[in-house]
Amino acid sequence: MRFNFILIPLLLGVIGLTGCSRQPANEFQGYIEGEYVYVASPIGGTLTNLAVARGDTVQTGQLLFGLERESEAAAVREAEANLSQAKAQLTDLTKGRRPSEIASLAEQLDRARADLKLSDAELVRRQNLVAQNVVSQEELDQARAQRDADQAQVNQLAADLATGRLGGREDAVAAAQALVNSQNEALTRARWSFDQKQQFAPEDGPVQDTLYRQGEYVLAGTPVVVLLPPDHLKVRFFVPEEWLARVKVGGAVSVAFDGARQPYPATVNYISTQAEYTPPVIYNRENRASLVYMIEARFPAAAAADLRPGQPVDVTVTAAP
């Protein structure tokens, strides 16, 4: 019995010391969370080039992966040929007939004018002969008809020559221009599809995971590479209701974890408007029934290099004035 009386005070002393080692009032439990970047192609295809591996660090614009794109390359070549043909047709309409055709029309017009000059002179002679009763009225009518036919031929050739120099009609030129625009858009779409078969890093950061191997078929829109840029890391922590008025968006917090050489700075960017019960990383009984509010804070990119998603941390809040 004496032994029990001695042991009880010792146990009470240990309990008292344990109860005194509580965390500061402005320190809260939390964890690191990452906003992953899932890089995918909007067009499906066989994975022919996986240019990165899990754990690599990539730079913005670096090739991540490539899919088979021979069909897209063929579509680009076809669209380029169609655009070239449409442009040639438009050019042909806008510049009129070829020089040799214009020269031929001009020569025909000169010959027709010479015929008209001759028929004019013949008509004058026939008029004089009719007045002298040498030829009949019928011959005069024939000469007049020939002169009118030659005049019509001159008028027609002059109009053809003018039209040949003008080029195509306005509506024909407008239709050709519309075709050029349409083929240009088709080429743009074909090149876009061709380019989408290769995907590049949108930001600097480590490769968190690769989800396919070379030779596998990737469905459209399915991620192939997962990135976690440093500025996509954030801390989530939970504060009781009485601390809501002391925490503001834009406020500073410091984050510490086991083994950290020094606290890491972060800036509050989000405060939940809804209360929730104990967050999933807190299991102590005294907080189990308490209402808490989730708060998120982001790190500078340089400070986030040592942090990992899921890592438990302690967040110290500097109360807003």
Residue 97's pLDDT band (boundaries 50, 70, 90)?
Answer: low
* Per-residue pLDDT tens over the stretch 166-211: 655 778 888 989 999 999 999 999 999 999 999 999 999 999 999 9
* CATH assignment at residue 43: 2.40.50.100
Q: In the sheet where 57-58 sits, what is the strand order?
A: 37-40, 223-227, 205-210, 57-58
Based on the fold, state whether residues 143 and 245 are members of the same structural domain: no
From first CA to last CA, the distance across the chain in angstroms is: 58
Lowest mean pLDDT among 3-7, 66-70, 91-95, 163-167: 3-7
* Per-residue pLDDT tens over the stretch 215-251: 999 999 999 999 999 889 999 999 888 888 889 999 9
Residue 164 Cα distances to 91, 94, 143, 174, 195, angstroms: 14, 11, 32, 18, 44
Q: Which residue has the higher pLDDT, 121 or 219?
A: 219
- Percentage of the chain beyond pLDDT 90 is 47
User: What does the mean pLDDT of the chain come to?
Assistant: 83
The residue-averaged pLDDT of 289-296 equals: 79
What type of residue sits at position 230? P
Instruction: Give the pLDDT confidence score for residue 220 in this predicted structure.
Output: 95
Task: Write a three-state SS string for the chain.
Answer: CHHHHHHHHHHHHHHHHHHHCCCCCCEEEEEEEECCEEEECCCCEEEEEECCCCCCEECCCCEEEEECCHHHHHHHHHHHHHHHHHHHHHHHHHCCCCHHHHHHHHHHHHHHHHHHHHHHHHHHHHHHHHHCCCCCHHHHHHHHHHHHHHHHHHHHHHHHHHHHHHCCCHHHHHHHHHHHHHHHHHHHHHHHHHHHCEEECCCCEEEEEECCCCCCEECCCCEEEEECCHHHEEEEEEEEHHHHHHCCCCCEEEEECCCCCCCEEEEEEEECCCCECCCCCCCCHHHCCCCEEEEEEECCHHHHCCCCCCCEEEEEECCCC
Given 139, 167, 191, the domain boundary residue is 191
* 10 belongs to a structural domain: no
Pairing label, strands 252-256, 233-240: unpaired
* Beta pairing partners, 34: 233
* CATH assignment at residue 262: 2.40.30.170
The residue-averaged pLDDT of 286-293 equals: 64
Instruction: In whole angstroms, give the CA distance from residue 306 to residue 230.
Output: 9
Whether 234 contacts 298, CB under 8 Å: yes
Based on the fold, state whether residues 165 and 85 are members of the same structural domain: yes
Lowest mean pLDDT among 135-144, 233-242, 292-301: 135-144
Instruction: Give the pLDDT confidence score for residue 253 in this predicted structure.
Output: 93
* 162 belongs to a structural domain: yes
Instruction: Give the pLDDT confidence score for residue 17 in this predicted structure.
Output: 40
* 204 belongs to a structural domain: yes
Instruction: Give the pLDDT confidence score for residue 120 in this predicted structure.
Output: 84
Instruction: Give the pLDDT confidence score for residue 223 in this predicted structure.
Output: 97
Which residue range is the domain that position 54 belongs to?
38-67+197-227
Instruction: Give the pLDDT confidence score for residue 319 in this predicted structure.
Output: 63
Based on the fold, state whether residues 85 and 51 are members of the same structural domain: no
How many domains are contained in the chain?
3
Based on the fold, state whether residues 205 and 124 are members of the same structural domain: no
Structural tokens at position 156: 């027609």
pTM comes to 0.66
Instruction: Give the pLDDT confidence score for residue 4 in this predicted structure.
Output: 42
- Checking if the pLDDT of 101 tops 90, the result is no
Closest CA to 314 of 25, 30, 32, 34: 30
Instruction: Give the pLDDT confidence score for residue 303 in this predicted structure.
Output: 77
Based on the fold, state whether residues 233 and 221 are members of the same structural domain: no
- Checking if the pLDDT of 39 tops 90, the result is yes
* 12 belongs to a structural domain: no
The residue-averaged pLDDT of 135-142 equals: 78
Residue 67's pLDDT band (boundaries 50, 70, 90)?
Answer: very high
* 144 belongs to a structural domain: yes
Based on the fold, state whether residues 307 and 278 are members of the same structural domain: yes
Instruction: Give the pLDDT confidence score for residue 23 in this predicted structure.
Output: 63
- Checking if the pLDDT of 121 tops 80, the result is yes
The residue-averaged pLDDT of 211-216 equals: 96
